[in-house]
Amino acid sequence: MKREAVTSAQNPKIKELLSLYEKSKVRRESGLFVAEGRREVEHCIGGGYALRTLFVCPEILGEDGISRLAASAGDGCSVIEVPERLYEKIAYRGSTEGVIAEIHAKKSGFGDIPDKENPLIIVLESVEKPGNLGAVLRSADAAGADAVIICDPLTDIYNPNLIRASLGAVFTTCVIAASSEETIAWLKGRGIRILTAQLQDSVPYYDTDMTVGTAIVMGAESSGLSELWRQNADEHIRIPMLGRLDSLNVSVSAAILLYEAIRQRNSRQIEP
């Protein structure tokens, strides 16, 4: 494994790293993205992603930590050591344990979604805030959802804010991007019920059967779901709002609906 030391912020490799952080166009054209923090990088390796470069800070990570990560990353990954003063300049956030990785992106499609009898899927339409998307992915991972489909995305799934907010769940969950039309056709072709979360013409979520193959569909908090999804839904569901506001954050809504599906499925399993 190639290993070298870099001490200057003007080094071309440091400049490229910062460009990957800051510009979605660079990420898209290069097929690379950045993750930082030991937990995130380990989830990334465990998710089958190939690492190109590890930027490590020996003063923070330690030699044992560098050796373990380098061994996990494999021979195709280069290791670049940077001093703590430089690491503090290139790290996106403070406490990231002294490791940043450049990673080859993976293109996932519908064929990567596990083929299960009664899948549980989250669909997000035009949700643009990376923090919200990341938080939904954390909920999807926690609930064991089979996939998250991001329709008509307004941000790329390898945005550093999304990766950070997901705590690495973007690597542990099957995440694909597709158009709404493609997703609707795929869901209907497999007999997966489409439940759209909306206030109008809807029933309380707990009155809806989620024990069968289910896709829970949510839109942006500001605009909601498009008419295309409303018209193609098998049922419209809502979370009752008992206060003065009319909606919840999309990540909170996703967690509530996912765990209702889990509750229903667990209850069905223990029925005599």
pLDDT of residue 224: 78
Residues of the chain with pLDDT under 50: 272
pLDDT of residue 3: 84
Q: What is the pTM for the complete model shown?
A: 0.89
Tokens representing residue 15 in the block? 């400049």
Report the first-to-last Cα separation within the chain, whole angstroms.
58
pLDDT of residue 246: 74
Domains of the chain: 3-104 (3.30.1330.30), 110-270 (3.40.1280.10)
pLDDT of residue 1: 65
Q: Is the dihedral of CA 257, 263, 267, 269 positive or negative?
A: positive
The number of residues making up the chain comes to 272
pLDDT of residue 212: 96
Burial of 189 (C-beta count, 10 Å sphere; 0-12/13-18/19+): exposed
Bridge partners (DSSP) of residue 149 are 123, 176
Residue 236 to residues 125, 169, 230, 232, Cα–Cα distance (Å): 15, 28, 8, 10
- Specify the amino acid at residue 135: A
